[in-house]
A and B are shown apart, each in its own frame.
Chain A
């Protein structure tokens, strides 16, 4: 079978029906094969970086591998930011890059780049094909690696002549049977239960791993069984229903104060699918002070990496949480809950309806509530405000670039997410004006496909998060963060044929948003708003419950 035909067959074998990419000389044979099949929808983006983000978004929404393809040289290097984004957030992706002919390799041929070497530290694994008959076994291995264990992106680099070559298509080998927890593991789990039953002030931190490991139901039963308060990380939003009485909110550098107080005052942290990232813990010395830790993660290398845990359990999250529910609670957490209740009341945010971003986020949250909407954000101040004020009740209804913090991620990711959900759910895309200037060209693809995405652009004519960092750490010496030269975002978006609204007040926002919800196609609200600081912001030199005053 011809190489490119075999690739399409293998994509279908792995349940792939939508892929993203951009053409170029060395991958054209695969495009030719794609033109002859109806089984795979190919989505042409305006830039390879967007193709990677869109495939990433598609994977975050579906839980399956996202696939993107690009040509050698500049096509491949443009993917790099998108691959690194997926890698940091453990998102399964398979990236296929075309490479120069095998006979031209190593001669600095036209558009030759060592993408294998470049992507080695930002992929879970990568392959450089050396003979055509490896094509199918290694492509299968790419899917298997991307989607198993701690998920992640896998890149496969294919010389152009292998797309034409006659390649073998061997039968698929059976997967090895699932491993079962051994005796040592069961002892460890029993010790973990003892820790939980002996704790007075336990807190569960729900991370992105709960969503990726599809263990949200088990997490809910586990928390309810022992009546343990739950906070979530930025990536864990949606892993636990935010209207649940046990939920204390989003914790971290810009977390809700009630959540940060819960973490800071806890005597036992049960981290489920969280890797104790520095934006979650703040100052690590203060963070670990007088606390015990139970760390549950699929990746054994995460245990004891950032925080030394008393008990580390690494493996499938569902199985582990089920193991931890085998005993009845004996500890009385009433006094802990009384403290938490006081924090909750003291730090409850009062929504005044004033024209500022928290109130806008609150309005969006109330409007979409538990409806068929999902939220995709970009990176910056709006992202933190959205995380603080938009309630999420289900996993895979909140999408954001956490680990890498990639500005420009939001719009192309929203494209991939909307394509996955089709008419089932609608994407509310939230971005800042800075991010829109980075990957705004993707409005072209969104308009061309008539996707019903609603964009909320928080236009404060500045890079708000940079401004905030310069305020706090650089004596308010603002530099390269205020856009003196004005541009008209409404006209920019309208130029793609997308309905855009200009907003200057809360009334205008409410009116435009409800109109946008009625539209069948893409819309965008350009929310012109004053500069502000994201509050709270935890002090990076002290405990998580000490905050910077603006």
Chain B
């Protein structure tokens, strides 16, 4: 089963390595990873998509919570969150078939971001299934390169990751 996890971390040296190595140490495979700034300069936010059994996810959240530089951890359920990732696709095209390709792109709401005499580059965002369907249709024209960013996830509604912020004493001597 696939899971989406957001991890809010202090901007400290080695913190990304610490979070990622926790996954490899406990033998989880990361499907997608994305790191970036947040609304506060104090924190970075890491989004990890990974596969694993449900009880293992609970263990992972606890292990991540023990890292002193981790401020909050949030598991995103598909029904409560939105997921986004971006894909760039470079496909072969000539004057003969350019319009056909552009029509397909329009159906998928993919944007053209570069046009050359013999190639096109598209930008497409959204769920895996949509991207997969788009690439399948482009395949006969000759895909030269595909690149994807890590997916990111955001909870719907007023709930934010900071409402999950752990107490300072979580792993300290006052913990109970």
Contact = CB atoms under 8 A, between A and B. Distances in A.
A361 B55 CA distance: 44
Contacts of A254: none
A300 interface: yes
Contact of B176 (A120, A175, A315): A315
Contacts of B173: 147-149, 175, 178
B14 interface: yes
Nearest to A151: B173
Nearest to A306: B59
Contact of A128 (B13, B25, B62): B13
Contact of B171 (A120, A149, A316): A149
Contacts of B176: 178-181, 185, 315-316, 319-320
Contact of A179 (B59, B62, B169): B169
A128 B14 contact: yes
A175 B25 CA distance: 32
B97 interface: no
B94 to A, nearest CB: 49
Given A301-B63, A301-B66, A149 B175 contact: yes
B62 A300 contact: yes
Contact of B21 (A120, A148, A305): A120
A301 B59 contact: yes
A298 B63 contact: no
Interface in B47-65: 55, 58-59, 62-63, 65
Contacts of A125: 67-68
B171 A150 contact: yes
Interface residues on A, range: 20 to 34
A58 B94 CA distance: 76
Interface residues of B, number: 24
A144 B168 CA distance: 12
> What is the predominant secondary structure among interface residues of chain A facing chain B?
loop
Nearest to B13: A128
B117 interface: no
A304 B56 CA distance: 9
A117 interface: yes
Given A116-B14, A120-B18, A125-B68, A305 B59 contact: yes
Nearest to B55: A304
Contact of A117 (B14, B167, B168, B169): B14
B95 interface: no
A116 B17 CA distance: 11
Interface string B1-35: 00000000000011001100100010000000000
A299 interface: yes
A315 B175 contact: yes
Contacts of A299: 66
A319 B14 CA distance: 36
A411 interface: no
A121 B25 contact: yes
Nearest to A320: B176
B36 interface: no
A176 B62 contact: no
B171 A179 contact: no
A179 B174 CA distance: 5
Interface string B69-109: 00000000000000000000000000000000000000000
Contacts of A144: 172
A526 interface: no
Contacts of B63: 301
B147 to A, nearest CB: 28
B92 to A, nearest CB: 43
Contact of B174 (A121, A150, A177): A177
Closest 9 CB pairs of A and B: A315-B176, A148-B173, A301-B62, A148-B172, A149-B171, A179-B174, A178-B174, A179-B176, A125-B68
27 contacts: A116-B13, A117-B14, A117-B17, A120-B14, A120-B18, A120-B21, A121-B25, A130-B13, A148-B173, A149-B173, A149-B175, A175-B174, A176-B172, A178-B173, A178-B174, A178-B176, A179-B169, A185-B176, A300-B62, A301-B65, A304-B55, A308-B55, A314-B175, A315-B176, A316-B176, A319-B176, A320-B176
Interface of B: 13-14, 17-18, 21, 25, 55, 58-59, 62-63, 65-68, 167-169, 171-176
